[in-house]
Structure 1
Amino acid sequence: MAEMDNTVEAMMKKANELKGEGNAFYKEKKYQKALGKYTKIFLYINHLALPQDLKQMVGNRAPDTGNVKPEDVKKLQIIANQNCAMCALRQLKFDKSVDFSERALKIDPEAPKARMIRGRARLRLGNLEGARSDLLFAQKHFPKSDPIKSDLSELKKKFKKVRDKQRQQYAGMFDRKPKKQVVEKNKKSTKDISNLVSEMVGEQSHTSASTDKEIKSLISEMVGGDKVDK
């Protein structure tokens, strides 16, 4: 059995092979298989990206990087995370897509592709402000990207829908006009009370002015006045 080559160069070579295999699966739209290849990359390279001060602490136990530069390892980490995020996005696993994107952004906070993927996932999760920030940032780097243009157009529609809903809610809060049904009900109540008072004081064909005044006063007390004091 051949001895496994544990040099950094060999591990980077294997990681790049896995990336190529993942890309092939992705083109065939076999996203789960592609994701499996991309995630396996981390087994080969994550321990290679040791900070310089940590390498000094572990001494001879730190792997010999050979011709591999630290920035090469970081670049591959970013690509692998972005590719995982894209697979998750295609599978409609938007939370996972955001997680993988943010892992890439921890390495490079301004990685444009990671911002683009996170923005697209955020849009589908309903995080409109976050999506707008990411997509506008990504558009500066990918001005001809159709997915970004399409998502920004959809984002504009969603913002308009939110504003229209808020406008309707505020209009309802400040609408003080009485409903017709309530007005008609009050009129009916007043008429019923008037008939009741007439029965109480006795119906007369020639009601005196004094009696009319008393009836109106009694009705006013029973239904309650609606005018302010003069």
Structure 2
Amino acid sequence: MEEERIGGSEERLNDEISDENGDNEITVENTSVVRSEPAQDGTRPPKVDSPMDALHEKVEKQIIKEGYGKQPSMLSTCFLHYRAWVKSTLHKFEDTWQEQHPIELVLGKEKTVMAGLAIGVASMKSGESALLHVGWELGYGKEGSFSFPNVPPMADLLYEVELIGFDEAKEGKARSDMTVEERIEAADRRKKEGNALFAEEKLQEAMQQYEMAIAYMGDDFMFQLFGKYRDMALAVKNPCHLNMAQCLIKLKRYDEAIGQCTIVLSEDENNLKALFRRGKARAALGQTDYAREDLKKVQRFAPEDTAVIRELKLLAEHEKEVYQKQKELYKGLFGPRPEQPKPKSTSKNYLMVFFAWLSALFSGLFKRAGHKSE
């Protein structure tokens, strides 16, 4: 069965297949860096029932979600998200999820104030989430934090941590120390690993690989690139966003998929894959006007594409269904229309007038006859 040109197979990442096979057909897929789990409130530490594991005299861990694979070794470059609270007051003072960029932590080269966090991360597997209890000696110490005034002296800390993944290839070489080529190469390697996981329907793990790839090419890095180097970076970065969006659509996390598309469109406003997937996600959320706008724009460039035609048809059918339901609802709210009285037949009206005239005529005749008899 031949692949659809714009929508692509729902079972494959068409943009990767077309890139690697040299296929120039248009195939559509979509942000900011997203979480591997749906967004949570995060104002308070999570309640965790798992056993407490002592990693160090001053560091304990409770697992929130199991990970997979092995643990990072010393000098691994780890990519993680975390929220941090002062344990005594439950005041949250840092949240990398809100900043929408994972943190890079090279084990063994971390800052002193992150020593407890690093011990916890070293015990985790890719994809694992955990709650870390860190004593003040391995946090901000006797003085507290100048950067976070609400962290007082000798404050024990709580960290909710997710280890997105880690990279041992450069033996602790941070992104900032890599050449442009090394960073693009590392990102491309992560992208391909994500594609392999996607093919196995391991969507969460695939997204973690894409997020790590994107982390190699953050805004600060992209801002410095021009010409061929920027083109090389975007050739890896944008497909990661698009592939992540495909995963998010499969997981029915449409808001995040829209965000992925929008990042690609900020670089390339006519990217058909991003427009198609954003339109599809918007349609799923009932944002029909915005969805139609995206899909119609794709159709202008690819008027015969069957996937776009199908999505627009589904959108029209959905709108018709909603209209019918609203029509029935309004009918039920206001009740049936009152019946109008049926007009009397014209012939019957004429007879009534005729008999009334006869009655008046005879009445007049009788009166005249009465006058004469008197």
More strand by percentage: 2
Verify: 1:161 aligned to 2:333, yes or no: no
Aligned amino acid, residue 180 of structure 2: V
Indicate yes or no: 2:247 matched with 1:75: no
- For the residue of structure 1 that corresponds to 2:216, the secondary structure is helix
| Kept after mapping to 2: 8 A contact 1:48/1:73 | no
Report the secondary structure of 1:45's partner residue: coil
Q: 1:168 to 1:33 in 2, by over 3 A?
A: same
Taking the aligned partners of 1:150 and 1:28, their CA distance within structure 2 comes to 27
Q: Residues 27 and 144 from structure 1, CA distance in 2 versus in 1: closer, same or farther, beyond 3 angstroms?
A: farther
**TM-score under structure 1 length normalisation:** 0.61
In 2, Cα distance between equivalents of 1:3 and 1:163: 59
Which residue of structure 2 lines up, in the alignment, with residue 45 of structure 1?
217
Return the offset for 1:75: 3.3
Distance 2:205 2:284 in 1: 23
Q: CA deviation at 1:74?
A: 2.7
Call closer, same or farther: CA 1:157–1:93 in 2, change over 3 Å: same
Match of 2:195 in 1: 23
Question: What letter is aligned with 1:107?
Answer: E
Map residues 91-170 of structure 1 onto 2, 5 A cutoff: 91-141=251-301, 146-165=306-325
After the TM superposition, which of the residue ranges 165-174 and 33-42 deviates more from structure 2?
A: 165-174
- Distance in 1, Cα, partners of 2:212 & 2:305: 29
How far apart, CA to CA, are the structure 2 residues paired with 1:159 and 1:108? 30
Partner of 2:160: none
Number of residue pairs matched by the alignment: 168
CA distance in 2, matches of 1:74, 1:67: 11
Of structures 1 and 2, the larger Rg is shown by: 1
More helix by share: 1
After TM superposition, give the deviation of residue 116 of structure 1 in Å.
0.7
1:28–1:145 Cα change, 3 Å: farther
Match of 1:10 among 182, 196, 220: 182
Determine the structure 2 residue equivalent to 1:178. 338
Distance 2:192 2:318 in 1: 38
For structure 2, the 5+ residue unaligned runs are: 1-74, 76-170, 342-374
Q: Distance in 1 between matches of 2:339 and 2:261?
A: 53
Whether the 8 Å contact between 2:245 and 2:277 is mirrored in structure 1 is yes
Shift of 1:174: 10
Q: CA 1:66 to 1:85, structure 2 compared with 1: closer, same or farther past 3 Å? A: closer
Distance 2:237 2:270 in 1: 14
| 2:244 maps to 1:84 | yes
Question: Does the CA-based 8 Å contact 1:8-1:66 persist in structure 2?
Answer: no
Report matched runs for 1:190-205 at 5 Å.
Answer: none
Q: Deviations over 1:167-215 (max 9, x none)?
A: 56787899995258xx9xxxxxxxxxxxxxxxxxxxxxxxxxxxxxxxx
SS at match of 1:109: coil
In the alignment, structure 1 segments of 5+ residues that lack a partner are: 56-64, 184-230
Report the alpha carbon displacement of residue 135 of structure 1 after superposing the two structures with TM: 1.7
Distance 1:95 1:177, change over 3 A: closer
Query: Aligned residue for 1:32?
Result: 204
Matched residues in 2 for 1:111 and 1:95: separation?
A: 19
Let me know the Cα RMSD of the aligned residues.
Answer: 3.2
1:87 deviates by 0.9
- Identical counterparts, % of pairs: 27
